[in-house]
Structure formats: structure tokens, C-alpha cells
Amino acid sequence: MKVRVECYSGHKADERPVRFWLDDQLYQVEEVVDRWYGPEDAFFKVKASDENLYILRQKRPGSEDIWQLEAFQQGGSGT
């Protein structure tokens, strides 16, 4: 599922997500629980304002960032 993400940019661009939209619903990122990186992708496991966990994948083909929702866990349990 595609998702629109707004990121914090500190030492580097798109350092971490701060909010995201699924359809027209806005979610604030309360906590970045985990993050890991691949050769062309970055993954962020986040706890959102609805108390659920989401894994967001950032694909970086060239200069255009593409975000996708990779996983969802209801209730935020089992980090």
C-alpha cells in the first residue's frame, strides 16, 4: 500500500518519518521503534498516534522517494 510520509531532515534528508497519511487519514509518529537499511531501501518500524505499529519502507530509485506500508500490527503490542 502506498503512503505519503513527511520526514524530519537533520544531518541528512528524510532522516526519520514524523507523520504519514494512509488514504486521507493522518497519523503522527510517536516513536521510531526500530530502523534498518538495505542497499536501496530504508525501513522504519514506528508507533503511531493510534497506538498501532507500522513498518514503512522508503525506496530510493534516483531522486524520487517512494514510500510503502509494509506491515501493520494492531494495538502496538509485541514490539
Q: Where are the domains of the chain?
A: 4-76
Sheet holding 66-73, edge to edge: 4-8, 16-22, 25-37, 41-48, 53-59, 66-73
Claim: this prediction has a pTM higher than 0.75: yes
Comparing 13 with 63, the larger pLDDT belongs to 13
Summarised one tens digit per residue, pLDDT across range 38-50 is 888 999 999 999 9
Residue 75 to residue 34: CA distance in whole angstroms: 17
> pLDDT by residue (tens digit) across 35-78?
999 888 999 999 999 999 999 999 876 656 789 999 999 985 55
